[in-house]
Amino acid sequence: MKSRAIKLALICTAGGHYEQMHNLSDFYQEHVRFWITSLTTQTEHAAEAESVYFINMAHFKKPWTYLPQFPKVFRIFLKERPTHIISTGSGRIVFVPYLLSIPFGIKFIHIDTFSHVRGFTKMAKFLSRTRSPILTQWRSPLKNRAIFIGPIFKESHFDKPPQGSAAYVFVTAGTRAEPFPRLFHSVECLIKEGLIREPVIAQVGSTRFVTSLMETFDFRAPQVIDDLILNARYVITQESAGIVTKCLKFGTKFIVMPRDYAYGELPAKSDMKEDLHLRLEELGFTYVVHDVKGMKSAITNINKLNVGFAFDNTLAISTLRSLVGAETASRKTGSRI
């Protein structure tokens, strides 16, 4: 049986999932590849250097929104003929490619997000009933059948401004479509009280928020966001794995205010059921707040937070190489793994 050369389909949604995929570049740059993701200010720049296809995100509460993805993904697979799919989630984009990977005979490898410490994501729970490999970045007794690979974020070194020299606070609501005014009203309240004395730069995203007390913008390129996080005195953010891991990598202290379905900040009660921020609070790397009072306490004690979270993705890279290599070998011998 003649084997095909390895060709990777890198599939993920924007935000933290996209950020995590980029940290696997030491692996995927060894192979021919293309991307399938959602179009945002963050991902549109990927087209400058990579082969990228953009599709609209669906949602499990509106299953009909998956239907337009089928013909588009089918045409992409027919044209590109990938041998392997590497997924970092979420199911809003990777579910349909998984289903189509079966008739196309494509090996599907899923890496569950760094933001779920104990349990699986919806996509991983679904895949746990299949034979597709599930790779996990945290050890947990709740993650049966998963292969532990540790964080897929790689260690990086940056020129961090000296302690106390940062001149502003950065606030971000991430890339979600749902507004998050509660976050910005809380910050504005503490500016008025005089607790936050530094200038505040706020990425409001899809939130309509008008204020004279902050410099606001909706979205910016990833490099701009990186610079804002790196040079901030501290960051106030939603429970975003993308922003949180950048803070950890850059050694920037941060506060997390989780979104709440009760305030219309999420489309479903089961969305953003992530526990990364809670684990990081246990480890002393952040404060998790839910209101102005909590935010006030967190800012008062911001200097007590830890920095120096260690990342090492060597196990993740070696595991992926092994999985793809083993599958390639099995193709040559006509066996299955």
Residue-wise pLDDT tens digits, 73-92: 999 999 999 999 999 999 99
> For residue 168, what are its two tokens?
């502003």
pLDDT at 130: 92
Q: How far apart are CA 254 and CA 234, in angstroms?
A: 5
Residue 139: Cβ-neighbour burial (10 angstroms; 0-12, 13-18, 19+): exposed
Q: What is the per-residue pLDDT across 252-271, written as a single tens digit (0 to 9) for each?
A: 999 999 999 898 888 877 77
Each residue's pLDDT tens digit, 17-71: 998 998 999 999 999 999 999 998 778 876 666 899 999 999 888 999 999 999 9
167 HSE (CA, 13 A, CB side): 1
Can you tell me the mean pLDDT for 276-296?
96
What pTM value is reported for the model?
0.79
* Domains of the chain from N-terminus onward: 7-155+311-333 (3.40.50.2000), 169-304 (3.40.50.2000)
What band does 326 get if pLDDT is binned at 50, 70 and 90? low
Contacts of 190 (CB under 8 A, 6+ apart): 196, 292, 295, 296, 299
Q: Is the pLDDT of residue 282 over 70?
A: yes
Q: Which residues contact 96 (CB under 8 A, 6 or more apart)?
A: 58, 66, 69, 70, 73
Say if residue 322's pLDDT is above 60: yes
| Termini Cα distance of the chain | 16
CB atoms within 10 A of CB 197: 9
Q: What token pair was written down for 82? A: 């990938």
